[in-house]
Every structure is written in structure tokens, then in C-alpha cells.
A and B are shown apart, each in its own frame.
Chain A
Amino acid sequence: SAVISQKPSRDICQRGTSLTIQCQVDSQVTMMFWYRQQPGQSLTLIATANQGSEATYESGFVIDKFPISRPNLTFSTLTVSNMSPEDSSIYLCSAGQGGALNTEAFFGQGTRLTVV
């Protein structure tokens, strides 16, 4: 299994500002993912971060709002830009391992974001 360190673990931010969340994996992984989990909801995939190329965003999420960096095979960042109270959520970093039959997703501890 992979160990994923995510920071900050929580933050309270003013609307209109931006927050960058960092995710560090203890081993090289091909793909990293960023999820959002709103209160009482399941995980929604924001984007897939590939090393050496632009992130792939899911429907409803755009690069201007959630820019992502993936400078190497062990690190990624997600920025939540121009925040509003609707962005208050838990943001989770994930890394995938394995092939088609046994792909597993491992998670960081999450970042609890509150926008006031």
C-alpha cells in the first residue's frame, strides 16, 4: 500500500482567496486523483493528475477554478481558487496502484476547508 501525506489538514479561508493543498506519496505512482466530499455526500472526482501532462477534469470542474500541478511521480497540488462558501468541503488526494484486476485507491487524510 502507499502512504499519502496531505496538508493542510484543515483551514478556514476568506471568500475570494485561494488555497493550495499538497499531496505527497511515499512511492512513485502513475496516477493521482483529487476528490471532493461535501457534507453528507460521497466522493466526487474533481480531476486526474498525470505526471508530465495537464490534468483531466471531470464534468463540472474547470482548470481555472481548480488548477492542479503534478511535477513528479510522488507529488501533486490542488488549488481552490477564488473561494466561495460553496467550496467548503473535504478535499481528498488519492493515488492508484495495480492493474485492471486489483486497482486500489489509497487516500490522504483529507483537507477540511471552510470558507467564510
Chain B
Amino acid sequence: QKEVEQNSGPLSVPEGAIASLNCTYSDQGSQSFFWYRQYSGKSPELIMFIYSNGDKEDGRFTAQLNKASQYVSLLIRDSQPSDSATYLCAVPSGGYQKVTFGTGTKLQVIP
């Protein structure tokens, strides 16, 4: 089993809809989780992190964490074409500051 798993997509949503991106992880001891956005040809940029069970909201983004199910998700409300990118789930491992990335989910927001 891979350490961090994501559906590769592409996930297509119409403009204004909610995009839901999912990630599962294998290490039960993982404490914190990160979502990165990567535009084509660019480096990843951090958009959210969460370490407590439940929801964390930041603008149009909500991260949801369920440690019992080893599941973390990212919701994007009122999706915009500018949100079209690959979203990478990341989990610190092997000494905390080493981060393992999922394969990423490609999101397409259709105008």
C-alpha cells in the first residue's frame, strides 16, 4: 500500500460548484497533513494544512481530517477556472520534516 494515495483524476467541475478532493494515508501515526496546489510547469505551493480531526476553513478552501479512517479531503467552494491545477496531498514522515506526496489529483474547472 502506498503511503499517500489520491485519485489522479481529472476531476471536472463546473464553475461555481464545489470540488472535493480526497486523500488516504497509511501511517496511523501521522499527525499533520498538507495540501499543495501545482499549476502546470510550476512548483507546488502550500494552500492548507490540518492536524486536528474535523474541518479547517480558509476562504473558499476547507480541509477535512478523519484520523480514524485515515482520510483527509480538500473542498473548494465556488470553484473558479483559476483553480484548475493539480492538488497534491502531503504527509510528513520519517522524522517529521520529510514529506511524502501523493500522486496528485488534476482538477479542471469548466467555465
Q: Interface residues, chain A, CB within 8 Å of chain B?
A: 1, 30-31, 33, 41-43, 45, 48, 92, 94, 96-110, 112
Contacts and interface: CB of A to CB of B under 8 A. Distances in A.
Chain B contact patch, size range: 20 to 34
Interface in B21-69: 31-32, 34, 41-46, 49, 51
Given A98-B97, A101-B51, A104-B34, A42 B43 contact: no
Interface of B: 31-32, 34, 41-46, 49, 51, 88, 90, 92, 96-104
A54 to B, nearest CB: 16
A103 B97 contact: yes
B52 to A, nearest CB: 9
Contacts of B104: 42
A105 B100 CA distance: 10
Given A101-B32, A103-B32, A107-B43, A31 B103 contact: no
Given A42-B104, A45-B98, A103-B92, 12 more contacts: A31-B98, A33-B99, A43-B101, A96-B98, A97-B97, A98-B97, A102-B51, A103-B96, A103-B97, A105-B97, A106-B46, A109-B43
A25 to B, nearest CB: 13
Contacts of A105: 34, 46, 90, 97, 99
